[in-house]
Structure 1
Amino acid sequence: MPLQRLPLPTIRRQRLYALLVLVAQAGIAVTGSIVRVTGSGLGCETWPQCHPGSFTPVAGAAPALHQAIEFGNRLLTFVLVALTLLLFLAVVRAGRRREIKVLALISGLGIIVQAVIGGVSVWVDLKWYAVALHFLPSMLLVWIAGLAYVKVAEPDDGAVTRTYPPLLRRLAALCAAAMTATLITGTMVTGAGPHAGDATVAPEDRLNLPIVDLTHVHAGFMYLLLGLVIGLIFALAVSEVDSAAVKLGAWLFAMILIQGGVGMIQYWNDVPEALVPVHVAGSGIVTGLTAVLFALGLRRIGGAATVTGSTAGDAEHAAAR
């Protein structure tokens, strides 16, 4: 079907699609953590099939609950594909600028790459490094979705404007770097921790490093991130920039504190299963907020394409009225 037959999406609708993609990208990481803490990682023992000769669960091939959880997580991939396709078609139909189309395309292609990485992690029987490499790209896709959420709201013909000083945007980039280090060390803590993803995973397939030391390194990067965010908030406040950035920084600060609190409770209580998805959800929220805060530093301001975001789309919308 030619794209011209599709409804012409407004900026508001495009942003809704971008928000849904952002939530779904973070959400599928949470369902993946549920797979891990319930020991359902090999509920489907192969990929892309669930079991040899069958794409769906097979009675008796593995515990029914484990099969249901792992297969359900795989099905969510198709929901995410549908949402990213919806966003991509919307921005292409509206004739949005190249930057936005690329972000939407990467979001969709990234899901396919993630599915392959997930399949590889099953093929190698959930070795810790494979599980880590499955989680980290999810956070990268959350970051990209956060950028897209900001960019689709900007008219394509607006003037590229620094909404806060270049030095502060570099500080926002440092926050992103500290967050990345926190995420990486967090996967290492997970790799050495008690939740392997399946009861059959051998000890030699786990990360055999002292979990206490890894936890301290992970916490150290979290404190670094917290300090950088505090510095950024104060710098934004005294620079008299858009109050939205300051408010968003405050939300990011609060979420990091909550994440730190959840992490401490996990550490003191031998990583209870119920808190793992909560901690993963917090990681997605922190990543998304950091991405949006970074994107707010360089925006397109003004412009006349306020309906669909593109001049061509707005002209078509006006002609159809």
Structure 2
Amino acid sequence: MELAPVPKTPAPAPATRNPETSTGPATSRLVRSLAVATLVANIGIVVTGGAVRLTASGLGCPEWPLCTPDSLITTPEMGVHGIIEFGNRLLTFVLAAIAFAMVASVWKARSARPDLFWLSVAALAGIPAQALIGGITVWTGLNPWVVGLHFIVSMVIICVAVVLVNRAWLSGSRLAAAEAPLAGRTLRPVVWAIAVLSAITVILGVIVTGSGPHAGDHGAARNNLDPDLVTRLHVVPVYLLVFAVAVALYLVYRRGADRRLRRSLLIFTVVLLAQAVIGYTQHFLHLPIVLVALHMLGASMMTAAAAHVVYTGLSRKVPGGAVSEAAVSDAAVSGAASGDAARG
């Protein structure tokens, strides 16, 4: 007696990649690369602008938008200071090219990803705003308050770029999710304190700079404040910031917070401590230009790291996830094994 063959269970079709639930990036590699380039370029132009000031080349091009009343570019008579100042002006076009490319890369997806589109537009809009403030800086003979505004606007653009990078790295599942912030109720006020104290630290640092010796030109005015006094005021929020970070680290490790928040706080801690060491060293060594340049870079990095902590702690859409790639792979293997068992 022959037995009827048992029909085989058809193998399950391979899962299709749904952008709403995908664990992979929801944006292209080009968009993500341009977002990072936007952040790096805005930090870089702060450093090159600092080099202009520290080499006393702030009025190397004494006019704006022209370099001289009769020339768009520097002339041989202007020497190295003209080359340094005009070179920094040229870097604005590099920044603009990256910003335009960023807007173009998300243009077709602007209805699906308005967040990326408007953040890109904001970063682009910061360039003509900064160019105008730079022109006013030249027209006012490097007024220290205008120079300080120039720096603070750069810090705002850097914060925008940090959010842009985070949003560009959202996966499909993170983009569709509306989860609670990674920072719990106890930690959220500490995160806000880190944001406020970081801003106060940067602003007071700008005032300290305006009272110091590096004016950008030998004849430029200073803000006539006591450098020692404003320096002492500047370190007060730094001490408070260190305390706030210590509290935040205690809370995230004591309560087992998400690793993304722990990582962002650790990055900020390293940058903050490095910046504090550079700041104290440059003060006691009477402001050598190399350390002052590093301190300006540190201010940009600290601003970016603080913005990353705030975004990671308070946003409802944070890149990455609690499920690791290994766990996803294990789930896929388990699913395949279940299919084999069913077929057996």
TM range (shorter): 0.7 to 0.9
- The equivalent residue for 2:13 is none
User: Is the contact between residue 158 and residue 304 of structure 2 (CA under 8 Å) also seen in structure 1?
Assistant: yes
- The equivalent residue for 1:180 is 199
CA distance in 2, matches of 1:154, 1:51: 47
What does residue range 1-321 of structure 1 map to in structure 2 within 5 Å?
A: 10-60=27-77, 62=78, 64-95=79-110, 96-155=112-171, 157-161=175-179, 162-201=181-220, 205-297=221-313, 298-300=315-317
User: Is the contact between residue 191 and residue 206 of structure 1 (CA under 8 Å) also seen in structure 2?
Assistant: yes
Deviation, structure 1 residue 155: 4.2
User: Is the contact between residue 163 and residue 296 of structure 1 (CA under 8 Å) also seen in structure 2?
Assistant: yes
Q: Deviations over 1:112-161 (max 9, x none)?
A: 10111011000000011111011010011111101111111124651122
User: Is the contact between residue 39 and residue 162 of structure 2 (CA under 8 Å) also seen in structure 1?
Assistant: yes
Deviation, structure 1 residue 171: 2.2
CA distance in 2, matches of 1:39, 1:130: 16
Deviation, structure 1 residue 301: 6.8
Helix, strand or coil for the counterpart of 1:87?
A: helix
Give the alignment's TM-score, normalised by structure 1: 0.86
Change (3 A) 1:275 1:301: closer
Deviation, structure 1 residue 14: 1.5
CA distance in 2, matches of 1:258, 1:132: 22
Deviation, structure 1 residue 19: 0.8
Deviation, structure 1 residue 262: 0.6
Letter in 1 for 2:182: T
CA distance in 1, matches of 2:84, 2:171: 42
Deviation, structure 1 residue 11: 3.5
Letter in 1 for 2:71: S
Deviation, structure 1 residue 28: 0.5
Deviation, structure 1 residue 236: 2.0
CA distance in 2, matches of 1:117, 1:37: 19
CA distance in 2, matches of 1:233, 1:158: 29
CA distance in 2, matches of 1:240, 1:15: 30
- The equivalent residue for 1:311 is none
Q: Give the paired residue count.
A: 290
Change (3 A) 1:167 1:274: same
Helix, strand or coil for the counterpart of 2:316?
A: strand
User: Is the contact between residue 162 and residue 308 of structure 2 (CA under 8 Å) also seen in structure 1?
Assistant: yes
User: Is the contact between residue 159 and residue 301 of structure 1 (CA under 8 Å) also seen in structure 2?
Assistant: no
Helix, strand or coil for the counterpart of 2:317?
A: strand
Give the alignment's TM-score, normalised by structure 2: 0.80
CA distance in 2, matches of 1:267, 1:255: 18
Change (3 A) 1:32 1:250: same
Larger RCO (alpha carbons 8 Å, 6+ apart): 1
Change (3 A) 1:49 1:236: same
- The equivalent residue for 1:308 is none
CA distance in 1, matches of 2:214, 2:39: 27
Change (3 A) 1:301 1:58: closer
Q: Deviations over 1:71-107 (max 9, x none)?
A: 1111111111111111111122334422221111110
Helix, strand or coil for the counterpart of 2:233?
A: helix
